[in-house]
Amino acid sequence: MPTLPYSNALVIGAGSWGTALAAVLAERGLQVQFWGRDPVLMEEIQTTRRNTRYLPGLVLADSIQAISDLEALRPADLVMFVVPSKAVRETAAIMVAHPALQQTQVVISCAKGVELETGKRLTQILAESFTHTPLAVLTGPNHAEEVSQRMATAAVVACDQENIARDVQTCFTLPWFRSYTSDDVTGVEWAGAMKNPYAIAAGIALGLKLGDNAIAALVTRALAEMVRMGSAMGGRPESFMGLGGVGDLMATCYSQHSRNHRVGRLLGEGMPLQEIMSSTRMVAEGVPNTASLHQAARAKGVRTPLLDEIYAMLYEAKPAREAMRTLLSRDPRAETE
């Protein structure tokens, strides 16, 4: 394998994806610091080598140092933000002032979302804190549960600096983990944010027992809507046809591991949204992202009939069957419109 361009990494965020990424980087040969806010959880991880709260099946390498004390952080070449999208701004503001991050060579966004208040992508938020540090995105159809089992995985590393993208790619090159590069940061970030609400819709269709035909149609039209919205926001259409777009969309809309799909399925089966959200520690990004994306689409004047109905179900208490009926009864049009 290629020589590593970085020697140590800091993974910020102790959820399932952060835990899986810490394991990947350690297997690749980097020294890994794994930081989370909860001192009880991080002490448990450090002692038992397991994150029983979020990814219990994975045993972490002894070389991974799990910590919650900011004072214990050491300098890191590569820093990965793997916190929920709504926590990115606050966490970045805390981390940027730490001496350990002053010489960081690249900051990587691993969450997916758009900020409700500003409509900004996550790298745009990180750029406000890390003004002189290159920023990249790691995205794609990557469920932590499968990555933790070292199952075949592919991802996209997006950065507007090709040399940085290739360096990060090297860190995510293993016999079972293959990564590709892209310079379309805008496109892959919008794709990653948009697929989550559509996964909720696919889950609702499953919960309503609408059948495979309906779900396939829904996912296909979701992709068309992603391309329309993402292109209007400055992304390139071809980025939505890759791993960060259609690849991630398919995984999220069909997988049993998808939190957003689970939320949708339970909604379709009749469970109230608040009850669903309070029944799990996991963050289903599609719920807050629906509000952010709906607002962004209205501000930009982009036609998003699917997103409109998902928003109505989540935020206006529109019954799921009525929303699906609305979609099916829309005026006929050409497929390319």
The answer on whether 209 is annotated among ligand-binding residues is no
Was 114 annotated as part of a binding site? no
Given the residues 195, 209, 300, 318, select the one marked as catalytic: 195
Residue 32 assigned ligand-binding role:
no
Q: Which of 78, 65, 61, 84 is nearest to 150 (CA)?
A: 61
The answer on whether 259 is annotated among ligand-binding residues is yes
Q: Please report, to the nearest 10 degrees, the dihedral formed by the alpha carbons of residues 111, 114, 118, 120 taken in order.
A: 70
- Tell whether residue 40 is among the known ligand binding residues: no
Tell me: is residue 258 an annotated ligand-binding position.
Answer: yes
Q: What's CA 133's distance to the chain center, in Å? A: 21
Closest to 106 in 3D by CA, of 8, 244, 3, 1: 8
Task: Report whether 37 belongs to an annotated binding site.
Answer: yes
Three-state DSSP class for residue 132: coil
254 annotated to a ligand binding site: no
Q: Is 212 annotated as a binding residue?
A: no
Q: Is 195 annotated as a binding residue?
A: yes
Determine if residue 279 is labeled as part of a ligand binding site.
no
Q: Catalytic site residue 120?
A: no
Query: Is 9 in contact with 78 (CB distance < 8 Å)?
Result: yes
| Structure tokens given for 116 | 């409700």
At a CB cut-off of 8 Å and minimum separation 6, what does 200 contact?
260, 261, 263, 264, 267, 284, 286, 287, 290, 310, 314
| Centroid of chain to Cα 29 | 24
Q: Would you list which residues are annotated within the binding site for NAD(+)?
A: 13-18, 144, 259
Q: Would you list which residues are annotated within the binding site for sn-glycerol 3-phosphate?
A: 112, 140, 195, 248, 258-260
Q: Would you list which residues are annotated within the binding site for NADPH?
A: 16-17, 37, 54, 112, 144, 259, 283, 285
Q: Would you list which residues are annotated within the binding site?
A: 13-18, 37, 54, 112, 140, 144, 195, 248, 258-260, 283, 285
Q: Would you list which residues are annotated within the binding site for substrate?
A: 112, 259-260
Residues with a catalytic annotation lie at 195
